[in-house]
Amino acid sequence: MILRLLLGDQLNDAHSWFQEQDQSNYLYVMMEVQSETNYVKQHKQKIVAFFSAMRNFAETLSSKGCQVYYIKINDSLNKHSFEENIKGLIESFSITAIHYQLPDEYRLYQVFKNFKSIFSLEVKAFETEHFFCSLSEIAELGKEKKYYLLENFYRHLRKKHQVLVINDKPLGGKWNFDAENRNKWKNQVPIPHVVHFKNDVSDVVEDLKAMNIETFGKFTSISNYPKSREQALLQLDYFITHLLPHFGTYQDAMHTDEVWLFHSNLSFAMNVKMLSPNEVVQKVEDYYGTNQDKVGLAQVEGFIRQILGWREFVRMVYWNKFNELKSGNFLEHERALPEVYWTGKSKMKCVATCAQNSLDHAYAHHIQRLMVLGNYALLMESHPDEVDAWYLGVYVDAIEWVQLPNTRGMSQFADGGIVATKPYISSANYIDKMSNYCASCSFDKKTKTEENSCPFNSLYWHFLDRNRNRLESNQRMKMMYAMMNKMDQQELSKINERAHFLIEKRNL
C-alpha cells in the first residue's frame, strides 16, 4: 500500500492522483496536527475554516471510493507531527512507499525533503498542479532580473497563457487599465451582500476546545468561507455576476460600513486549492466574452492581474528570494507591533476599522492590509518579524508563500526593494482620498504637528527623513524628497518631535 499525504491547502480533487482508475493501492492520509495550529498564533476562523474544509474533502474522497485515513486534532493516537504520525501508519498499513504533493511553504518543503532519510521507503514528490507556473518555471523566471518587475512578469504570463490577448497584443490596446480604476466608494452603486454558507462547524470548534488550541479573533461562525468546492464555485459565480462589474472601479476604496465592497473573497478557496487560478481566470474571461454589455474590460483586466499577475508573482519571489525575505530588516525596525492589531482599539478611525475587520472576519481587503495596517506598522517602526507573525495568523488566506512577500516585501520594504520598487507609505491624504474614515475620526487630517493632528502626517515625513540615506537615490522617491527639501527646517523638527512622541507612545 502506498501512503499519499495531503496537506490542508491541497484540497484539489482535480489532481491527477485522483484521475487514476485503480485507487486500491493508495491510502490517502490527512492530519490535523499541533505543529500546524501552533507555529504561529492564529485566528480561530482560520483554523476552523481549514479543518472543516479538510474534513469535508476527506469525506468527498471517501465517497468517490478512495481509502482515506484522517487524523483529527483530538485523536488519541495523534502524535501532532507529520513524521511521527506517518511512522505509526507505516506499520499499521504495511506501507511500501510515500507520495506527497510539494508543499507551498518552505518550512514544510524542508520537513518533507527529509522524509527520504527518515523512512527507508521509496518517497516521491509530485507537483500540486495548481499554479500557472510550475516550480521549475519559477526557478527559470527567477534567473532574469526583468521578471522581478510585476508588469514584465504579468505580460509574459498573459502572452504565454493567451489571456486577454490577440496576436500577442493586449485586448483593448493596453496591458493595464489602472488609470480607469480606483475610485472612492460613496454609495454610487449598491454593494451586493456577501455569500454566506450555513455550515455546521461545531465539531471542529469542540475538538479545538478540547485540545486547548490557542487562537485569537472573534468567532461566531465562519459563514463567509466555503468548506467544499461546490460552495467555492457558488462564490465564484456570484462574484462574476454581481461584483466583478465594479471590482476595478472600487478596488482601492475603503468604507467604515463595508468589509468586502466589490472584492471576491476567493483567496481562501484558491489558497486551499478548491478552485484553481486557471479556472477562475478562464471563467472571468469567458464571462467577459459574452457579457460585454454587463462588465467592462478595465474591471476584468484589473481582476485578472491580481491572480495571473500578483498571485503568481509573489510566489515566484518567495521561492527565489526566500532567505532575503525571511530575514530582511532593511530599515532596521525593532519595535513591538502596536496593541491595536490585537485589540482593534485606537482613536485613529482608519487603523481601528481595518484592525477590527481583520479580528472580526479574518479578512481585510488589499488596500486595508497595505495602505492602512501595513503603512501604520511600517511608519511606527515595528519589527518585521512581529508584523509577519500577525499577518500570518490573522487572515484566513494566510499561507507563508503569499503572506511573506506581501508583508515583509511589499508592505514593510524589509527586503530592501525586491517585491516593491518603493515603500508603500502615505499620509492622511491618500487614506482620505480612498475612504470615509477621516470624516468620523477625532484626529485632524489636515495638520501635522498639533496635539490632534493625524499621526500619519508626521509619521510619513519622519519616515522619509529617517531613511534619507537609504531611499533618496531611489528614482521613485525623488518627488517626495524634492518636496521635503523645500520644507522649513523648523517645521521638520516639529514633525520629527511629534513623530518620536507617537512612536514611543505606540498605542494611539
Q: Phi and psi for 166 in degrees, rounded to 5? A: -130, 125
Question: Which three cell numbers mark 187?
Answer: 454609495
267 in contact with ligand FAD (CB under 6 A)? yes
Tell me how far apart the alpha carbons of residues 150 and 147 are, in angstroms, rounded to a whole number: 7
The nearest distance, CB 63 to ligand FAD, in angstroms, is: 28
Residue of 29, 61, 270, 464 that binds ligand FAD (CB under 6 A): 270
Question: Which three cell numbers mark 223?
Answer: 459563514
195 in contact with ligand FAD (CB under 6 A)? no
Query: Which C-beta is closer to ligand FAD: that of 89 or that of 420?
Result: 420
Query: Which C-beta is closer to ligand FAD: that of 299 or that of 436?
Result: 299
Query: Which C-beta is closer to ligand FAD: that of 17 or that of 225?
Result: 225
411-440 binders of ligand FAD (CB under 6 A): 411
The residues, ordered by sequence, that sit 6+ positions from 228 with a Cβ below 8 Å of its Cβ are: 53, 56, 57, 60, 274
Question: Which three cell numbers mark 369?
Answer: 492590509
Tell me how far apart the alpha carbons of residues 208 and 213 are, in angstroms, rounded to a whole number: 6
- According to DSSP, the residues that pair with 26 across neighbouring strands are 2
Candidate ranges 217-225, 318-326, 394-402, 414-422; the one touching ligand FAD (CB under 6 A):
394-402
395 in contact with ligand FAD (CB under 6 A)? yes
Q: How far is CA 289 from CA 86, 132, 170, 350, 385, in A?
A: 48, 21, 14, 38, 45
Candidate ranges 1-9, 166-174, 288-296, 401-409; the one touching ligand FAD (CB under 6 A):
401-409
383 in contact with ligand FAD (CB under 6 A)? no
For 320, other C-beta atoms within 10 Å of its C-beta total 18
The residues, ordered by sequence, that sit 6+ positions from 471 with a Cβ below 8 Å of its Cβ are: 422, 423, 464, 477, 481
219-258 binders of ligand FAD (CB under 6 A): none
Q: Are 233 and 275 in contact (CB under 8 A)?
A: yes
- Taking alpha carbons only, the member of 123, 124, 96 closest to residue 25 is 96
User: Which DSSP state fits 144?
Assistant: S
Residue of 8, 344, 374, 455 that binds ligand FAD (CB under 6 A): 374
283-322 binders of ligand FAD (CB under 6 A): 306-307, 310-311, 314
Query: Which C-beta is closer to ligand FAD: that of 337 or that of 402?
Result: 402
366 in contact with ligand FAD (CB under 6 A)? yes
Query: Which C-beta is closer to ligand FAD: that of 328 or that of 374?
Result: 374
Residue of 403, 427, 436, 453 that binds ligand FAD (CB under 6 A): 403
409 in contact with ligand FAD (CB under 6 A)? no
What beta strand segments (E) does 49-157 contain? 67-71, 97-101, 122-126
36 in contact with ligand FAD (CB under 6 A)? no
Q: Are 354 and 373 in contact (CB under 8 A)?
A: yes
The residues, ordered by sequence, that sit 6+ positions from 290 with a Cβ below 8 Å of its Cβ are: none
271 in contact with ligand FAD (CB under 6 A)? yes
The nearest distance, CB 497 to ligand FAD, in angstroms, is: 29
The nearest distance, CB 38 to ligand FAD, in angstroms, is: 18
The nearest distance, CB 276 to ligand FAD, in angstroms, is: 12
Q: How far is CA 460 from CA 257, 334, 387, 447, in A?
A: 27, 18, 18, 12
Binding pattern for the stretch 346-365 against ligand FAD, x by CB under 6 A and - elsewhere: -------------------x
264 in contact with ligand FAD (CB under 6 A)? yes
**Which residues make up the interface to ligand FAD (CB under 6 A)?**
263-267, 270-271, 306-307, 310-311, 314, 365-366, 369-370, 374, 391, 395, 397-398, 402-403, 406-407, 410-411
